[in-house]
Structures are given as structure tokens and as C-alpha cells.
């Protein structure tokens, strides 16, 4: 199943401007995402904003499933 970029873009819109910039920036710079990255990003987006923000800032460790994805997202800013 191909990655639905419109759905991902909508899900990347968060309550925090910083997260919007990081997540949509990652999506824009990594087009097209492969199916694995698409699925992993969708699962990551199920987490709470404050958790994702802490992972991106390095305040806490991201779960192993998303650790490399978080590193890649962190690099865009």
C-alpha cells in the first residue's frame, strides 16, 4: 500500500508550532517516504505532543522502534 502523503501531512499538524515545523519539514525533505518509514511515522504520530517534543529535543529517549526516525527528524532543523 503506497504512503498517503496527504494523510501524513494532516497528521503532522500538531498543537505545537515547533512540532509542525519539524514533522512537516521532515515530510517535505524526505519525499517520497518508503512504506516502512510511512508506517513508522504514522505510529510515532500516535504519541502525545509532549512525548514527541521531548524525544526530538533529546530530553528523553525515544522507544527503540522510532529511535533512528527521531534522529532523522531532529536533523532537519
Domain borders along the chain are 5-74
Q: Residues 6 or more apart from 60 whose CB is under 8 A from it? A: 51, 54
CB count in 10 Å sphere of residue 39: 13
Tens digits of per-residue pLDDT, 1-59?
A: 568 888 899 999 998 999 999 999 999 998 788 888 899 999 999 999 999 999 999 99
Q: Per the confidence metrics, is the pTM higher than 0.95?
A: no
User: According to the model, what pLDDT value does residue 33 have?
Assistant: 84
CATH superfamily placement of domain 5-74: Flavinator of succinate dehydrogenase (1.10.150.250)
Amino acid at each position: 500500500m503506497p504512503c498517503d502523503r496527504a494523510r501524513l501531512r494532516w497528521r503532522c499538524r500538531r498543537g505545537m508550532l515547533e512540532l509542525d515545523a519539524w514533522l512537516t519539514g521532515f515530510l517535505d525533505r524526505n519525499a517520497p517516504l518508503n512504506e516502512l518509514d510511512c508506517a513508522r511515522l504514522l505510529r510515532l504520530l500516535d504519541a502525545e505532543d509532549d512525548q514527541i517534543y521531548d524525544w526530538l529535543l533529546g530530553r528523553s529517549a525515544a522507544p527503540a522502534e522510532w529511535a533512528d526516525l527521531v534522529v532523522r527528524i531532529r536533523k532537519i532543523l
